Structure 1
Amino acid sequence: MSCVGEVEIAEGQVVRMVGFSCERGRAYAESEVTAPKRVLTTTVKLNGGTLRLLPVVSRQPLPKDKIAACVRCLASVEVEAPVKEGDIISGDLLGLGVDIVASRDVESVSR
C-alpha cells in the first residue's frame, strides 16, 4: 500500500500538501522535502578481531547533508575486539546527537 501526494514549496517552506491518504505519508513527505535524513551504515577499522572491519550503523537517521562528513570522521576510528552488537563506537557523532553503534558481535582472535 502506498500513500502518494503532492507537496508545494515556496521559499524553502511547505505551503500546500494534497492527495495524501495517510498521516504517516504526509509527515514523511514534509520531512523529506524540508530536512531529509538517512540512516548511515558503514564500517570502521577493527583491531584484533575475527574481521578487519566492523559494520556500524547510526541509531537514528542523520541529516542527509551531514552523511559525507560523518563518513570522513568515522574513517579515522579504530576499535579493539571483542565488540558486541549495540556497543557505542562513536557517541554523539559530530555533535548531531546520534550514536554510531556496532551492528554485529565480533570476537577476538587468539594469538
Structure 2
Amino acid sequence: MKKKIICTVCPMGCLITVDGEGERIDDIQGYGCKRGLEYGTNEFSHPVRILTSTVRTSSTHTPLLPVRSQSPIPKERMMDCMEEIRKVTVEKGVRCYDTIISNICNTGIDIVATGEFL
C-alpha cells in the first residue's frame, strides 16, 4: 500500500511517499532530511497527534475551557478520548496546565488545561 504524507517537521512541506504494509516499510521517498525520514516512518507505522479541545465549565459567563493532551495520542484513540472529554465539566479554581483528566482512555497521557477558570 502506498501512502502520501506531507511532512510538517519544517516549513518545506516535503511530499513523502511510503510503500509498505502494516508497520513494514518497503520503500520511502521524497523526504528532504533525516527528520523527514523519521517523520514519514512514524506517520506511516504509528501516527500520533496532540489532541486539542474544550471542556464545559460550571459558568454561563465562561462556558468552555481549552484543553490539550500533554503529549501526542495515537490517532486511532482520538475519538475515544473525545468521548471522555465530552463527559467533563470543571468547577472554578482551574489554572493553566492543571490536569483535567488523568490517563485518558488508559493511554498514560493526561489532558491539561490551556487556560484558566478562576
- The alignment's TM-score, normalised by the length of structure 1, stands at 0.84
CA root-mean-square deviation: 1.8
Q: State the match for 1:27 in structure 2.
A: 38
CA contact (8 A) 1:49 1:80 kept: no
Q: Which string of whole-angstrom CA distances, capped at 9 and with x for unpartnered residues, describes residues 38-82 of structure 1?
A: 111111111248511111001111111111110001111121112
CA distance in 2, matches of 1:50, 1:2: 41
User: How many aligned positions are there?
Assistant: 107
CA contact (8 A) 1:49 1:82 kept: no
CA contact (8 A) 1:3 1:22 kept: no
Q: How much does 1:10 deviate? A: 3.2
Q: Quick check: 97-106 or 19-28, which moved more?
A: 19-28
Question: Secondary structure at the residue paired with 2:115?
Answer: coil
Instruction: Show the 5 A alignment for 1:1-111.
Output: 1-48=12-59, 50-107=61-118
Higher relative contact order (CA 8 A, sep 6+): 1
Q: Quick check: 91-100 or 7-16, which moved more?
A: 7-16
CA contact (8 A) 1:8 1:15 kept: yes
CA contact (8 A) 2:22 2:45 kept: no
CA distance in 2, matches of 1:91, 1:7: 35
CA distance in 1, matches of 2:44, 2:88: 32
What letter is aligned with 1:62?
I
Identity rate of aligned residues, in percent? 33
Q: Which structure 1 segments of 5+ residues have no match?
A: none
Q: Quick check: 8-17 or 73-82, which moved more?
A: 8-17
